[in-house]
């Protein structure tokens, strides 16, 4: 497993697309011109799978880990098997490793060579995750990346960047927010965001969740 330790910039420049992404864009343009694709509907569908349906799987895994110490231990020792207990299996989720945030260490995931991503628990990868600027800057300046995402960590907290590969993919287990004692798994899952499971965000506080409703 390849990892990089840093003491803590993120560029949302989406102009650098891979050859496959360029071909997809060209196909989308052609289908739109012929009237086969409605761009707003397509955007809504992608947004749904990118931020709602897929990440809900990972949120269930995190919520279980927060509330069930035995499950948390299984997840940390064999994430692939523990995640499969929910029925979340398949391509892009065969070799999973869970990394847990603590007061001393904040974990963040990147794929420097391409865009390997755990689809089974996080859904579609966001565009920024696949961009060259993120893939390079997450390794060189992780604290700058987090700052641009609005994440500010205590000075004592170190940042560890995990580099996904075709052989292994990572799921960040964010720290459980304070004030959630006695919450059910369903309630806890609402606090877990996609970005918090990549490490570019934190789990929502109960107050932030209430404000977002």
Mean local confidence (pLDDT), 82-103: 87
Rg (CA), the chain: 18
Paired with 5 in beta bridges are 160
User: Of 67, 115, 164, 196, which one is the catalytic site residue?
Assistant: 115
Domains of the chain, CATH where assigned: 2-203 (3.90.330.10)
Percent above pLDDT 90 for the chain: 62
Q: What is the distance between the alpha carbons of residues 25 and 82, in angstroms, rounded to a whole number?
A: 37
2 is catalytic: no
Position 44 confidence tier, pLDDT thresholds 50, 70, 90: low
Phi/psi class of residue 109: alpha, beta or left (left: φ > 0; alpha: ψ in -120 to 50)?
beta
pTM reported for the whole predicted model: 0.77
114 is catalytic: yes
131 is catalytic: no
Q: Are 195 and 125 in contact (CB under 8 A)?
A: no
111 is catalytic: yes
Q: What is the distance between the alpha carbons of residues 47 and 87, in angstroms, rounded to a whole number?
A: 23
Which uninterrupted H or E stretch holds 98?
strand 96-100
More confident residue, 123 or 62: 62
Paired with 7 in beta bridges are none
User: Of 2, 18, 77, 114, which one is the catalytic site residue?
Assistant: 114
Q: What is the distance between the alpha carbons of residues 202 and 191, in angstroms, rounded to a whole number?
A: 9
Give per-residue pLDDT as tens, 58-89: 999 999 999 999 999 999 999 999 999 998 88
């Amino acid at each position: 497993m390849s990892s990089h330790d840093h003491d803590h910039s993120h560029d949302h420049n989406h102009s650098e697309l891979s050859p496959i992404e360029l071909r997809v864009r060209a196909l989308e343009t052609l289908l739109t011109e012929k009237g086969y694709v409605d761009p707003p509907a397509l955007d809504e569908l992608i947004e749904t799978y990118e931020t709602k349906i897929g990440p809900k799987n990972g949120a269930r895994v995190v919520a279980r880990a927060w509330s069930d110490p035995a499950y948390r231990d299984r997840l940390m020792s064999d994430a692939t098997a523990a995640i499969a207990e929910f029925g979340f299996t398949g391509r892009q989720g065969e070799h999973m490793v869970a990394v847990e945030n603590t007061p001393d260490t904040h974990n963040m995931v990147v794929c420097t060579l391409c865009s390997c991503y755990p689809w089974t628990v996080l859904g579609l990868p966001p565009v920024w995750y696949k961009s060259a600027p993120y893939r390079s800057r997450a390794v060189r300046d992780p604290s700058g990346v987090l700052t641009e995402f609005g994440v500010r960590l205590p000075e004592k907290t170190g940042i560890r960047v995990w580099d996904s590969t075709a052989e292994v993919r990572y799921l960040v287990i964010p720290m459980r927010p304070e004030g959630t004692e006695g919450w059910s798994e369903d309630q806890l899952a609402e606090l877990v965001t996609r970005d918090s499971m990549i490490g570019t965000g934190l789990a929502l506080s109960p107050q932030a969740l209430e404000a977002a409703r």
